[in-house]
Structure 1
């Protein structure tokens, strides 16, 4: 029942947010990863090669994004936004993989009380339209969502180039 509800919330969020339509996400394991239901397991971040360079990903290889409307390390993505752009949250401290600068990793408390990972001052999010590791379909959506590079800065390259 909760997976069906999660799928409905993701579909509503995708329609409510502007930008290109999201891919249809399966209602099985990828939704569970996005929703944070695996938050009891240690969450890690690392870097992976992509079509636009080395980008920040979680421990399973899912791309992580930043929202240019977020200021001062605080998240401004709520409501229908968070349905399309789920926050990277964890009940335990987020671990760093090879190449991740630990001094750039912090957390911020979200309004609902969850602890969201922040890298280089950017709260981190998934994109519901990414179906698996290596997908960067959220790159450049609305000119406000971008993957994060090794230095904690946003990579604004277009993967189609």
Structure 2
């Protein structure tokens, strides 16, 4: 079958639009990541629970921090399995993410006392008060954030991102940042593990 120049132009235009749309979605225009943006991770990690009460702001419910096993090892998520990150620019239990940063890295907030289960330690979960008065969940003193580029449970596309002046990492259950490995597509053969 012969391909016309018109069809080739349409195909190239469609591909260019897709690339631009993907670039707009990763937050790079707002001081977010640039060429070093980690690859997407959309494969199934294994969550240790699947109930939800959180998504950026928790509304009327409380936040629960749990663990999940995936391509980066065992790391912290919310109760729905959505990955939470720490920001290396945060210090002394204070958030350094405000303004345009919170549109890309949404703080995990709660209206009630946060909890931990399934491998996360309850004594390590607390809150700080943000400048807008909301209560942001912390783990071992690290304020926790969602990455807007993660669109499903188990994704770690923000891992190693250097947007807004410092690196962003997932946290191990010990509270230590997991600094190895940018996000990578995970195997679809994962089974339940963890705690």
TM class, shorter-length: 0.7 to 0.9
Which residue of structure 2 lines up, in the alignment, with residue 124 of structure 1?
A: 144
Q: Distance between the aligned counterparts of 1:100 and 1:147, measured in 2?
A: 13
Q: How far is 1:160 from its partner?
A: 3.6
Query: In the alignment, is residue 16 of structure 1 matched against residue 30 of structure 2?
Result: yes
Q: Quick check: 1:13–1:80 contact (8 Å CA) kept in 2?
A: no
Which residue of structure 2 lines up, in the alignment, with residue 154 of structure 1?
A: 177
Q: Does the residue aligned with 2:103 lie in a helix, a strand or coil?
A: helix
Q: Does the residue aligned with 1:117 lie in a helix, a strand or coil?
A: strand
Dislocated runs of 4+, deviation >4 Å:
10-14, 20-23
Q: How far is 1:127 from its partner?
A: 0.0
Q: Quick check: 1:39–1:92 contact (8 Å CA) kept in 2?
A: no
Greater Cα radius of gyration, structure 1 or 2? 2
Q: Distance between the aligned counterparts of 1:12 and 1:149, measured in 2?
A: 24
CA-based RMSD of the aligned residues comes to 2.4
Query: In the alignment, is residue 63 of structure 1 matched against residue 80 of structure 2?
Result: no
State which drifts further: 38-47 or 120-129.
38-47
Q: How far is 1:12 from its partner?
A: 10
Aligned to 1:77, which of 82, 97, 101? 97
Q: How far is 1:106 from its partner?
A: 1.4
TM-score, normalising length: structure 1: 0.80
Aligned to 2:73, which of 53, 65, 68? 53
Kindly tell me the number of residue pairs found equivalent between the two proteins.
Answer: 142
Q: Distance between the aligned counterparts of 1:102 and 1:46, measured in 2?
A: 10
Aligned to 1:141, which of 155, 158, 161? 161
Q: How far is 1:39 from its partner?
A: 2.0
Q: Distance between the aligned counterparts of 1:98 and 1:81, measured in 2?
A: 30
Which residue of structure 2 lines up, in the alignment, with residue 7 of structure 1?
A: none
State which drifts further: 39-48 or 12-21.
12-21
